[in-house]
């Protein structure tokens, strides 16, 4: 996939990736919660399975039950470095949030990458 992205960029093109900070997510994993949005209460369970975080969401609406899963692979900065190196690309900058503060694996909410 990264090689395809690289071939799609023009010579001076830049790739920006916004990803969750896996290290912080794992350290602060909320395993169960109920989110009340007025008419709907979402029951959310999170767990780790095969190097991915899985979010299971259940709720009822108009008498019908809904059940969904969201799965995101737990990738770290080291993973991304390996991926981009193998495609002949380089991470030029990393940021830890949308105000572009410095990335810190333990504290940052996001892993934002600027890649060329």
Q: What share of the chain is helix, strand, coil (3-state, %, to 5)?
A: 20, 45, 35
CA distance 97 to 6: 24
In whole angstroms, what is the distance from residue 88 CA to residue 115 CA?
A: 11
Percentage of residues in the chain having pLDDT higher than 70: 100
> What's the pLDDT tens digit per position in 49-101?
999 999 999 999 999 999 999 999 999 999 999 999 999 999 999 999 999 99
State the pTM of this model.
Answer: 0.84
């Amino acid at each position: 996939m990264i090689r395809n992205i690289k071939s799609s960029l023009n010579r001076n093109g830049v790739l920006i990736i916004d990803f969750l900070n896996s290290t912080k997510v794992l350290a602060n994993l909320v395993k169960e919660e109920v989110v009340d949005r007025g008419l709907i209460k979402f029951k959310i369970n999170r767990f780790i399975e095969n190097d991915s975080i899985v979010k299971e969401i259940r709720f009822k609406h108009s008498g019908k039950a809904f059940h969904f899963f969201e799965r995101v692979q737990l990738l770290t900065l080291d993973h991304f470095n390996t991926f981009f190196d193998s495609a002949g690309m380089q991470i030029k900058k990393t940021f830890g949030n949308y105000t572009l503060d410095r990335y810190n694996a333990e504290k940052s909410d996001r892993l934002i990458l600027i890649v060329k």
